[in-house]
């Protein structure tokens, strides 16, 4: 029996596994032979990307309405101080009409070490200090961490981001904290990672 869809076309949603915010551009249904139920999945086009390979397919339990992200109207503390389960790293400007948001990175004791990209993606989602909405930073967010809070990171190591290399599906971007460079590494290689969480700024 066809279940009601939780989302509609043009809904703005968040996909935690890929750390992507985007818009639903297609809804696909398929028959599950064993139960004769109809499975539903959604195609998400992340904001800031137009290439077909950047689109994401997900079931409705893998995405959330954008308004379900944590929201704050209060003033944030000084950059580099403890706040909301981690260390406050500053404000990330919203793209494509999306609101700005506060970025918080996990404390140093929760650093992920010797992990390939997929393991880093998974481990970054573990609860920290009572919050369960952590994930890997994307390239823009990782650059902000280097600019605003580099002291809390290993300057000799590379840190995974959630951003995959558009030109090679086996590669993803990393952030360095020595000179601030970014480099694409093979997903099977093992590096460090640090989770972040985000708080939408409601004007």
Instruction: Tell me the pLDDT tens digit for each residue of 6-33.
Output: 777 667 777 777 777 777 777 887 766 6
DSSP state of 17: T
In the structure, what pLDDT confidence band is assigned to residue 69 with cuts at 50, 70 and 90? low
Q: Residue 50: what pLDDT? A: 41
- Distance between CA atoms of 137 and 116, rounded to whole angstroms? 15
Reference 106, options 15, 197, 201, 198; nearest CA is 197
Whether 201 and 103 have beta carbons less than 8 Å apart is answered as no
Alpha helices in 34-171 (DSSP H): 117-123, 139-148
Q: Residue 67: what pLDDT? A: 53
Q: Encode pLDDT of 114-162 as tens digits.
A: 999 999 999 999 999 999 999 999 999 999 999 999 999 999 999 999 9
SS3 content of the chain, % helix, strand, coil (to 5): 15, 40, 45
Lowest mean pLDDT among 4-8, 57-61, 100-104: 4-8
The yes-or-no verdict on residue 46 having pLDDT over 80 is no
Whether 160 and 136 have beta carbons less than 8 Å apart is answered as yes
Name, in order, each residue with C-beta under 8 angstroms of 131's C-beta and a sequence gap of 6 or more: 84, 85, 197
Q: Residue 167: what pLDDT? A: 81
Fold of 70-201: Mannose-Binding Protein A; Chain A (3.10.100)
Q: Residue 188: what pLDDT? A: 97
Q: Residue 54: what pLDDT? A: 62
Half-sphere exposure of 102 (CA within 13 A, CB side): 22
Whole-number average pLDDT of the chain: 84
């Amino acid at each position: 029996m066809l279940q009601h869809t939780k989302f509609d076309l043009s809904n703005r949603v968040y996909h935690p596994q890929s750390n992507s915010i985007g818009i639903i551009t297609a809804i696909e249904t398929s028959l599950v032979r064993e139960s004769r139920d109809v499975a539903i999945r959604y195609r998400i086009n992340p904001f800031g990307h137009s290439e077909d390979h950047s689109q994401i397919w997900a079931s409705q339990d893998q995405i959330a309405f954008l308004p379900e992200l944590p929201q704050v109207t209060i003033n944030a503390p000084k950059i580099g101080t403890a706040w909301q389960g981690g260390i406050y790293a500053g404000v990330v400007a919203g793209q494509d009409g999306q609101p700005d948001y506060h970025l918080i990175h996990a404390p140093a004791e929760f650093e992920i070490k010797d992990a390939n990209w997929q393991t880093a993606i998974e481990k970054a989602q573990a609860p920290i200090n009572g919050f369960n909405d952590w994930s890997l930073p994307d390239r823009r967010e990782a650059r902000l961490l280097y600019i605003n809070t580099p002291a809390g990171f290993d300057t000799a190591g590379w840190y995974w981001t959630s951003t995959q290399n558009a030109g090679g599906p086996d590669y993803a971007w990393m952030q360095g904290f020595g000179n601030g460079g970014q480099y694409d590494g093979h997903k099977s290689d093992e590096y460090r990672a640090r989770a972040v969480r985000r708080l939408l700024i409601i004007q």
